[in-house]
Amino acid sequence: MKRLINQYPNRKGKILLGLIPFILFLGLYVFASHERLAVNENDKLMPALTTIVDAVSKMAFEPSKRTGEYLMLSDTTASLTRLGIAVCISALISLIVGILTGIIPKLRASISPVVTTVSLIPPLAILPILFIIFGLGEVSKIMLIVLGITPFLIRDTQLRVMELPEEMIIKAQTLGANSWQVIIRVILPQILPKLIDALRLSLGSAWLFLIAAEAISSTEGLGYRIFLVRRYLSMDIILPYVVWITILAFAMDYLLRKLSRSVFPWQLVPKGEG
């Protein structure tokens, strides 16, 4: 028998080991829910799986009696649209500002202090200001996410640009490149995959700001629904919605990773020998 530190699971074993905690957790939930319902059959805190499945099928596959919409679908579309627009705007701003401040020292001197200051403002603290300025509609929610994640993305992009080996920038200049050509042919293509990585990291905060904004003022959206049904202690809807949001977040992360690998294949090429 090898030492524990030298034992590695094979592929199947790895999947199995990864699943164990989830299965255990589910089993624990079913057991606890069963015990609670046995004591009080009207208990709302831990609904049985069957109740949850019923609630989900009602939300997802039956049109709402009031509006005729499939609620889970319209909630998902509304939330993802806000998130998508906000993330695209943030990515674009941080790409432009991050690259420019990273490579042009005078711009960095002028803009970096502002970005740092803005990044220290807690975005939720200025949510009321956003509501006052942009109204209670879509713009203020998107603005909250943009304000929340852009400063981080700008600072990260700027750092990544400054981390590029100086030799490369010098080499480009000896090949006759002007500042603009250095930016679009040398820096931009090398920074894009790093921006995607930063985006993946900032998705968590983006969701946080989205749900916060939806909870306060909205008429549809995943966050709105959770906070709406909270009034009726509808755990049978809240729990699957939380799971659904997690799945969506996971899927976005996965897609971004795949995108980065397929669009920028040079990152993955194995190292050559000596």
Binding site for another protein (CB under 8 A): 165, 167-168, 170-178, 180-181, 184-186, 189-190, 264-266, 269-274
Q: Which amino acid is at 136?
A: L
Place of tokens 């939300």: 59
Sequence-separated (6 or more) residues with CB below 8 Å from residue 246: none
35/163 with CB nearer another protein: 163
43/197 with CB nearer another protein: 197
The CB-of-266 to another protein minimum distance in angstroms stands at 5
14/171 with CB nearer another protein: 171
The answer for 273, left when phi > 0, alpha when psi is -120 to 50, beta otherwise, is beta
Determine the Cα–Cα distance for residues 25 and 253; give it in Å rounded to an integer.
Answer: 24
The CB-of-192 to another protein minimum distance in angstroms stands at 9
CB 259 within 8 A of CB 120: no
The CB-of-172 to another protein minimum distance in angstroms stands at 8
Determine the Cα–Cα distance for residues 31 and 24; give it in Å rounded to an integer.
Answer: 10
The CB-of-162 to another protein minimum distance in angstroms stands at 14
CA 128 from centre of chain: 23
121/259 with CB nearer another protein: 259
29/264 with CB nearer another protein: 264
The CB-of-264 to another protein minimum distance in angstroms stands at 7
How far lies 195's CA from each of 57, 116, 273, in Å?
38, 18, 29
The CB-of-202 to another protein minimum distance in angstroms stands at 23
CB 44 within 8 A of CB 235: yes
122/272 with CB nearer another protein: 272
